[in-house]
Amino acid sequence: MSVGNEPTDPSPETPSASKSYLDIVREASAFDIEWLSDHRLQERQKVILTELPPPNELAKKIVQEIRKANEDGKIHAQINKTTHQPSNPRNLTRSILFEILSEKEVYLFFSKNPEGIETETRTESEVEKAITEFFKHPPVRDLVNSRKTDCVSVRMLNEDENSGEFVYSMTDTYEMKSSRFLNYRAFRQITATRKSNQKFVDVLNNLDTRMTDHFGLTKLGRGRKKMRIEPDMRQNLIMCRDVDTTKADKLIHRAEQSDGQTNRDGDFSDSDYAEFKAILEGRHPTIKIKLLKSSFSEKELDKLYREVLPLVMSILEI
């Protein structure tokens, strides 16, 4: 991966001093028969990788997210009167990289077609990007302590729908999980999504317009139009392509515990485990979630991660 003098066009086919993003993915899947035969998947990966910035800029973006996560962690600790423990930057780099790849895929493919079937690519919505940024890094202290959605999709309402009050409607939320298993934290995120998102929307609708303008949301804010959540808003969970999502009991990571109670480390109680299993199997009465496959496998993600990590660590050590 190039460390300096990167081309302004971060196309995966653009030659660099060492390897392009697409070269790295090709190396990771060189002996993957399924990948070699799936030309549509390869083209889809190429489209997504083309959207990435050059390696140094990608590393800087990841570092920004790491620092923001630690800042939020400090605020969260202050609000809850606990001790802040900085997250491991190596672990964060991998998860943030997957979020970046998945967010590109959401706006290029998934939000256009919830089933993930490609029809044509589209330009990333500036409004969706701005709302996602607000959700991920809210300017309001109380929201830092709330569960955050990784990515959202919205649609513009026509005059008949909005009755002069609403202008945007949230249609989908997306959570990205780079791990092979889903833990108790994932369960809490998924079950709190709608309530948490409503809290964010309420704050956004009543935010000072100078702040909404700062985020590029010039139609929203106090005294302006409002955003709402669709009654049948879809929840989506994106995991690596090669993760087996067909068996809920194998997908849920449950640490050993006693007495069937949730302990302070966040293990599942028996009732929580049963509820999460029902959600993943589509049997939950109110929470419906769609499991989506990323275009990237764990092996491909790990290969990209190993290439970008030295750049990230070099910036953090400055």
Pairing of strands 226-239, 151-156: unpaired
pLDDT in tens, 102-154: 999 998 888 765 444 443 333 347 888 888 888 888 877 767 666 778 898 88
Q: What angle do CA 237, 204, 131 make, to 5 degrees?
A: 45
DSSP one-letter string for 32-55: -HHHHH-HHHHHHHHHHHHTSPPH
- Give pLDDT tens digits for 227-267: 999 988 999 999 999 999 999 999 998 875 444 444 444 68
Express as a percent the part of the chain with pLDDT over 90.
Answer: 55
The top-scoring range by mean pLDDT among 22-31, 159-168, 215-224 is 22-31
Q: Is the pLDDT of residue 13 over 70?
A: no
Number of domains in the chain: 1
Q: Stretch 56-79: mean pLDDT, rounded?
A: 88
Residues 6+ apart with CB under 8 A from 96: 62, 65, 66
For residue 47, pLDDT over 70 is answered with yes
Cα-Cα end-to-end distance for the chain = 20
Which residues 6+ apart lie within 8 Å of 267 measured at CB? 184, 254, 255, 256, 257
Q: In what order do the strands lie in the sheet with 289-293?
A: 151-156, 166-177, 226-239, 289-293
Residue 89 exposed, middle or buried by CB count within 10 Å (0-12, 13-18, 19+):
buried
- The continuous run of DSSP H or E covering 90 comes out as helix 89-105
Q: Which residues have CB under 8 Å from 28's CB, separation 6+?
A: 297, 299, 300, 302, 303, 304
Of residues 40 and 19, more confidently modeled: 40
Q: Tell me the per-residue pLDDT of 186-230, one tens digit each, with 9 for 90 and over.
A: 999 999 999 999 999 999 999 999 999 988 898 899 999 899 999
pTM over 0.75: yes
Please give the angle made by the CA atoms of 90, 136 and 172, to the nearest 5 degrees. Answer: 115
In a domain, 192, yes or no: yes
Residue 62's domain spans which residues? 21-316
Label residue 67 by pLDDT band (50, 70, 90).
very high
Q: To the nearest whole number, what is the mean pLDDT of the chain?
A: 84
Q: Looking at the DSSP assignment, which residues form a beta bridge with residue 152?
A: 173
**Is residue 113 assigned to a domain?**
yes
